[in-house]
Amino acid sequence: MSRMYPIPTHPVPSQLERLRPFIEGRDCLVVGSAPLPTEHAQDRPGEVVIAVNGGISSCAGIPSVWFVNSKQQDRPGDKNLTPLHKRMMEQATNRRVHHIVLLRGSKVASEEGTFERLDQLCVRRESWSLLDKTTKAHVESILCDRNLGEKRPCSSGLLAVAVAFWCGASNVRMEGFSWSPGHHYKLPQPIQKRWHDVADKRALKELYQRFGDRLQTTLLKRKVAA
């Protein structure tokens, strides 16, 4: 891969439209990284499986779409790569994905380094696209009740849910999501806190208000609706 795309200063609608052919009119299962009661997420016949970050290890088959955080430090050999992010990326080792969505930050065009790492991990892809911070904030401002000045974004998992609805999903079901710390895959030291609780709670309330029972998750029953 030799081309890198400039970081935009405004939302880019085409980044969202790139995903519509995978999602529009389909039932979707979004798989996060939280612990599951079974080895793999239980997808239903006909569902589009959307994996998020390390949630790819919870998918028994080939995900249609994989949302993954792209960082400047992804390039193999970078000493600034955190063990948590490295371990998350390793969940995709020897996996195949139909389409990869790179969630970029706001400062650096990081896709080249991320693909170098994914190639090193033998991750196979058929296509890929970007989702930049400006576009993510735009989606959240419309579907997740986020003020544009709000510094607390949704988690990548809730963003994937919102994007699925944005792209015309019939229904969206969530597995691998929890308010408690920990991941489905093993880590040397489990995380002690989830950093997106406030934003995710706000987003779930708004998404349920908009889409009702088309959004299926146990989180609504336990905490968000309280």
- 48 bridge partner residues: 28
- pLDDT, tens only, 137-167: 999 999 999 987 777 899 999 999 999 999 9
Return the H-helix or E-strand segment holding 156.
Answer: helix 156-166
* 8 Å CB contact between 50 and 30: yes
Q: Does the pLDDT at position 225 exceed 50?
A: no
Which residues fall within 8 angstroms of residue 86, CB to CB, at 6 or more apart? none
| Torsion of Cα atoms, 18 then 176 then 148 then 132, to 10° | -40
Pair of tokens at residue 143: 């579907």
- 127 bridge partner residues: 99
Q: Does the pLDDT at position 196 exceed 90?
A: no
Cα→Cα distances 144→73, 103, 150, 161, 166, Å: 29, 18, 12, 10, 11
The structure's pTM equals 0.92
| CATH class in words for 23-224 | alpha beta
Domain boundaries, the chain: 23-224
- pLDDT, tens only, 50-67: 999 999 999 999 999 999
- pLDDT, tens only, 14-59: 999 999 999 999 999 999 998 888 999 999 999 999 999 999 999 9
